[in-house]
């Protein structure tokens, strides 16, 4: 058997969009590398996560991850554990995913002789809103840790632009979805459609996703039906009479509801690249996004969707679509996913990046 180069993935935020990204990446890399995944279980981690991952992936649960980088005693324990894991594996590259693993991992491997890569999956100090001592600490930690011997690999050009303000060694690879799997899922799903023109989004009702803005948009377009699939700590902000909060739904049901909708909105404070955005582009939905990191790299205003700055911008685009649905824009979004935002393209870029990093080409 061919001896493959060893890659150690480290992921504390093993749930939600990060889980979808990391699990897909690990699966895609198995044909090219010997993949080790050091992970921590979270409430959002799927119960059947081992069935989602390729059987060739070596799974290592990190017992001491605690979800924070401000508990010094716990951090030291995690640092020691990560160093022991790396020493036992002897990887040729270490890839840290999200802010907690990225923060602790960059300290643990600051003197590593092998390349260390950090993917933020959206910077915490941007995604969590403005103001507050905690967010300032996150920003300063990113700046300080940006001086370590590490390559910051982001998911799109606009996130890379932020990375360049925090560190000198950066690169980006666009997020992709598995088109074969997604197509098979969509083909087997009958759309759940309403008589009314339907606008929807999905995710946690948290500060990052700006539910208050989504509610304001709904109030400006009373003739349309608005749906938020998901829930969370800010459910109480969704009060518009034409807005329905469904709670969390199984993936097949959420896809059926999305397939039957007319418009997908992503009005976040910031993203890396949201998997839901790419999936809805592929479903041919009219896409409306906020003019922020992540979103503005994917959506080219007026070409494959619309970039919006205010609630009125969103409302005006929805009212226009009710009168005359822009099919050509939706068709362009589908083409972009097929040519750019898919796992075939992403895999090829990752294999090249990893091999170049191991060869020392990102010094």
Mean pLDDT of 250-273: 94
Q: Tell whether the model's pLDDT for residue 233 goes beyond 80.
A: yes
Distances (CA, A) of 313 to 7, 212, 241, 327: 45, 15, 20, 19
Structure tokens at 112: 């590593």
Phi, psi of 36 (to 5 degrees): -115, 130
Banded model confidence at residue 133, pLDDT cuts 50, 70, 90: confident
Q: Residue 15: what pLDDT?
A: 83
Structure tokens at 246: 């469904």
Give the predicted TM-score (pTM) of the model.
0.88
Least trusted range by pLDDT, from 36-40, 132-136, 251-255: 132-136
- Give the separation between CA 264 and CA 180, rounded to whole angstroms: 22
Which of the 8 DSSP states describes residue 238?
-
Q: Tell whether the model's pLDDT for residue 53 goes beyond 50.
A: yes
pLDDT digits (tens, 9 = 90+) for 136-172: 888 889 999 999 989 999 999 999 999 999 999 999 9
- Give the separation between CA 273 and CA 158, rounded to whole angstroms: 10
């Amino acid at each position: 058997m061919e001896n493959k180069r060893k890659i150690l993935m480290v992921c504390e935020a093993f749930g939600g969009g990060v889980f979808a990204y990391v699990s897909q990446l690990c699966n895609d890399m198995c044909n090219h590398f010997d993949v080790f995944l050091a992970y921590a279980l979270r409430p959002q981690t799927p119960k059947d996560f081992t069935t989602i991952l390729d059987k060739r992936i070596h799974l290592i649960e990190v017992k001491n991850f605690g979800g924070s980088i401000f508990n010094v005693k716990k951090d030291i324990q995690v640092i020691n554990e990560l160093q022991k894991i790396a020493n036992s594996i002897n990887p040729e590259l270490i890839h840290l995913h999200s802010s907690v693993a990225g923060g602790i991992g960059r300290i643990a491997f600051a003197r590593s002789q092998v390349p260390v890569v950090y993917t933020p999956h959206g910077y915490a100090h941007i995604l969590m809103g403005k103001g507050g001592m905690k967010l300032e600490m996150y920003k300063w930690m990113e700046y300080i840790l940006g001086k370590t011997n590490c390559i910051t690999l982001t998911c799109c050009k606009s996130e890379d632009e932020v990375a360049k303000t925090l560190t000198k060694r950066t690169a980006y690879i666009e997020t992709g979805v598995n088109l074969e799997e997604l197509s098979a899922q969509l083909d087997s799903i009958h759309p759940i459609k309403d008589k009314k023109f339907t606008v929807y989004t999905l995710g946690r009702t948290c500060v990052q996703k700006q539910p208050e803005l989504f509610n304001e948009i709904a109030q400006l377009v009373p003739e349309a039906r608005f749906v938020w699939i998901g829930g969370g700590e800010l459910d109480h902000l969704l009060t518009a009479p034409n807005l329905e909060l469904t709670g969390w739904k199984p993936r097949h049901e959420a896809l059926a509801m999305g397939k039957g909708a007319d418009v997908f909105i992503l009005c976040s404070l910031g993203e890396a690249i949201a998997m839901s955005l790419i999936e809805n582009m592929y479903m041919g939905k009219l896409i409306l996004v906020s003019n922020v990191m992540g979103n503005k790299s994917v959506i080219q205003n007026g070409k494959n969707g619309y970039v919006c700055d205010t609630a009125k911008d969103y409302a005006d685009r929805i009212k226009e679509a009710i009168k005359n649905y822009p099919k050509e824009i939706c068709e362009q979004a589908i083409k972009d996913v097929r040519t750019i935002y898919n796992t075939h393209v992403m895999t090829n870029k990752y294999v090249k990046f990893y091999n170049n990093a191991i060869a020392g080409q990102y010094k």
